[in-house]
Structure 1
């Protein structure tokens, strides 16, 4: 079996959403999953279950970056929208186009982590390497405070080959100064540093 990071999540307060709002949140997750798949040159196998639940598979070195992008993509759709994410890292056998028939330690750890997640947390990885375990609570607090616009900027700027701020400003109909302001307010420069550290191969493999 290969080593994978399995993400198991659900949409926060989904019972208060209309069917259209929940569908839109999953559309944004699907878009982000395709982007992550391109980063890792492997499918993420995004799988929806129990109405508001979802799972996907990520290369371990991209765990932190992918988690932040998934938080960002949900939040950019509505100011109170969010998703919980529990991550299990370990061996996993992945077959087919989704995770319905997948098995392995990573899936078990991820599912158990979501079931046991504290009420005040939305991002957790109990069996992850220590560096990632230390980074996630701070990242969780940061992402929870993002505005919709900060989340939108984060969604694009968190790409491994992130766009120039001027180009992103043009595509979003903003000024470069506004984009820089959102980068600063969202704490993205610090997030970039953590991504660089955790994506060093020896940290998560």
Structure 2
């Protein structure tokens, strides 16, 4: 851990809000593979951008191929993956953007640490449980990952050979075997409106 560092003060968060005319927040989508997280995140990002809101989606495509390309899928690497995402999403929220994270993030402790990080910085953190029965996720299986996990080709696969710890009290609970992608993204958007974040 670096010790020879000094914080350089700049704009206050309130000043940044007034300049950008928008509050920042992190929307943290968590759920099994094939629950619909990434598709909902894409739809929500487009909806927010069409409304001229600053928003950016963080998911496996732009994190695992860049910032976290040095990490695998062991428990330790998954924990570090989520720690880095927590820090990056906090920076986006602090910049008065709406960060939309779309990661399985299977461990409650990691998600709670992400929440605490935002709480310490007085930034909104909205946990969204993208909930789908395992059998429905397996039926969808767009990348064939469940099939490979069942065959033992993929080790430590969440929901099959590795645990998923569902949120106890998420701000939003989406049952995606009952809601469409558009309906799910609107639930989140309306939550943001109700809480004066858009």
The TM-score normalised by the length of structure 1 is 0.31
For CA contacts below 8 A with separation 6 or more, give which structure has more relative contact order: 2
Structure-2-length-normalised TM-score: 0.31
**Which entry has the higher C-alpha Rg, 1 or 2?**
2
